[in-house]
Amino acid sequence: MPQPNIYVTRRFADSGIKALKAKGYKVTVYAEDKVIPRKELLKNVKGCDALLSLLTDQIDEEVFKAAGPQLKIVANYAVGFDNVDLAAAKKRNIPVTNTPSDKVNEAVAEHTFALMLCLARRIAEADVFAKAKKYQGWSPNLLNGTDLYGKTLGIIGAGRIGSAVARRAVGGFGMKLVYSDMRQNVDLERLYKAQYMSMEKLLETSDFVSLHVPLLPSTRHLISTSEFSMMKKTAFLVNTARGPVVDEKALLRALKTKRIAGAGIDVFECEPAIDCDVTDNLELKSFANVILTPHIASATIEAREAMSMVAAENILAVLSGKPPLNPAK
């Protein structure tokens, strides 16, 4: 009996690939280190028993049809899975999995705090200032920032990553914590004295607002003009979740009118483009009080290896007749 074929849409941390090959499976990896073109994806998935995809791949009915009826699983190398048509997969009884792990949670939480610290202490501005040889000596008014200590952090989405951010906020920086979610998180309240409140109240209360929600129809443009109008003018927004959770046009207006103090953005509404509309003369990169990173919140060696293994373990489970370990739902 022939061994299953696994198709991987891009090269990444190879621990999972090694685990699949050790099982004797035939593993084919797209040769180039870039997003696989649609035409290549449709051609290369033909006959595969498992597809290991990335969040940059749109996996839909056309892909399922191109792969063939033997396809048994789509293992998405990401915590999110909005790039996969779950309804089309369900119609064909193909399980879809994602790659949550403690390593990913901690990596994203660390990056969230890196953005908060950079915003509060104006690190990026100071770096540019110093490298431009503008520093002429100490001054009591030079690049004054703001403390994290004693400030209120509002977490929207108090799941695994939101909770990891909360732990750092309270235990490491002495911040006050408020949160908003579909349901209360009693552990968050017990461990960190977090206050559960509506998103509207949270926006009015918080000095820093950090987003940790998945991209769903209900969370698209969750933060838009009305939400920015509720925030303190001294507040900062941090988004390490998904780009379309924030209405980019509304964010640009809020920055231009100084409605908020700044933003730390790791994900973008029109990725891979940083700005959806470059003709409006309002670009995120033009604001000194905006920190931009290119979707790297989970980009640590440890997190990438963990994601690779989780994806492989899901494939190994399904191809051996067991249920998936991390079904996307």
Q: Assign domain 102-292 to a CATH class.
A: alpha beta
Catalytic member of 121, 220, 221, 295: 295
Enter the pTM of the model: 0.90
Catalytic member of 242, 259, 269, 304: 242
Cβ distance 231 to 205 under 8 Å? no
Whether 167 is catalytic = no
Q: Which value, to the nearest 10 degrees, does the dihedral of the CA atoms of residues 272, 276, 281, 286 take?
A: -40
Intra-chain end-to-end CA distance of the chain, in Å: 33
Cα gap 327→306, rounded to integer Å: 17
Closest listed residue to residue 307, CA positions, set 4, 90, 8: 8
The reply to whether 5-98+302-319 and 102-292 are identical in fold is yes
Whether 313 is catalytic = no
Q: How confident is the model at residue 3 (pLDDT cuts 50, 70, 90)?
A: confident
Backbone angles phi, psi at 263, to 5 degrees: -150, 145
172-188 pLDDT, tens digit each: 999 999 999 999 999 99
Query: Residue 258: left (phi > 0), alpha (psi -120 to 50), or beta?
Result: left
Check residue 79 and give its pLDDT: 87
Distances (CA, A) of 263 to 106, 152, 163, 279, 325: 21, 16, 21, 21, 36
Longest dimension (CA), the chain: 75
- Domain boundaries along the sequence of the chain: 5-98+302-319, 102-292
pLDDT exceeds 90 at position 1: no
Whether 11 is catalytic = no
Catalytic member of 40, 62, 271, 305: 271
Averaged pLDDT, 22-34 = 93
235-285 pLDDT, tens digit each: 999 999 999 999 999 999 999 999 999 999 999 999 999 999 888 878 999
Q: Assign domain 5-98+302-319 to a CATH class.
A: alpha beta
